[in-house]
Amino acid sequence: MAVEFDYQARTEGLTIEELLREKWQLGKKMVHELRMASAVTGTDGEPIGWTQGLKAGDVLRLRIAEPASSYAPDHGSLTIAYQDEHCLVVHKPAGMAVHPNEPGGTGTLMNQVMAESLAAGRSYAEHVHRLDQGTSGLVLIARHPVAKAVFDRMLEKKEIRRVYFAETDKRFQKPRGRIDAPIGRDRHHATRRRVSPSGQPAVTHYEVLREENGRSLVRLELGTGRTHQIRVHMAFTGHPIVGDALYGGRRADGGGYRLHAGQMAFVHPFTGEELVIDDPQEPVWLEEWTRGD
């Protein structure tokens, strides 16, 4: 299968070579494959020289191979916060894994995304990032290989802003701040992480939104994307997430822990639109804070 999309140049003098290699930062192999397949043309299908400067407003047509993703389709109640021909942003419920851990596995978010994609006549869908199984919220999905490569690069360069909300124990001494503490594996526990001088750099920004009854509602933004980062940093500062038993949080009514990826923002790499996407499906505990219950 193949997927087609149009791209309107927004920079005067940019060449196709510069667009693919420098602006989108596609890998050498992918750029070579696109060139060999004559995958970039004008809207009339006529070839365009790869070193020819484009005019702002010129429209290119890309036709690229669409490999089949390996996830088995699994129909469910998928909540879509945003979608276009390049990507999906979908809600992941707490307790659901983003993807299977073994071939043929089902019951995950990507199985549901695959069912939606196949129903729309698409064979490709790949997640750009992950959330811990117990965390609810937004996950970005690429709808074709070029989008996957571009969004991967944007994530690496911190051009995709991800905002979380958490309920934590105790009052904070400062209403906002920056947690800069490296994170590594805990050699005493197979899945737990810990702050460690030899760990990878990790930065989390926080802002206390409300405090009451010895607990706090905190807005958090990732400066890096380490495994369990927010959970580790909150526990390290003495404010473990409510319900997060792995990191010392007290039990939450209803089970689970209270961390939600509620917002995502980025400049769309193919349209130039500035997107701010909110999760339309907030967890009950967050709604209670919003209502002031």
The catalytic residue among 44, 58, 74, 132 is: 132
Cβ atoms 13, 54 nearer than 8 A: yes
Report the sign of the C-alpha dihedral through residues 79, 226, 275, 118, in that order: negative
Residue that is written with structure tokens 């792995």 in the block: 246
Cβ atoms 184, 199 nearer than 8 A: yes
For residues 281 and 88, give the distance between their C-alpha atoms in angstroms, rounded to a whole number. Answer: 15
Q: How many helices (H) and strands (E) does the chain have?
A: 6, 15
- Count CB-CB contacts under 10 A for residue 47: 9
Give me the amino acid identity at 106: T
For residues 117 and 104, give the distance between their C-alpha atoms in angstroms, rounded to a whole number. Answer: 17
- Catalytic residue status for 74: no
46 to 38, 42, 57, 246, 293: CA distances (angstroms) = 10, 5, 17, 58, 62
Residue that is written with structure tokens 């706090």 in the block: 216
Q: How is 100-161 classified by DSSP, letter by letter?
A: -SSTT--SSHHHHHHHHHHHTT----EESS---TT-EEEEEEESSHHHHHHHHHHHHTT-SE
Tokens of residue 167, six digits:
């309920």
For residues 126 and 280, give the distance between their C-alpha atoms in angstroms, rounded to a whole number. Answer: 22
In the DSSP assignment, the letter for residue 246 is G
Angle at 118 between CA 112 and CA 120, to 5 degrees: 105
Residue numbers annotated as active site? 132
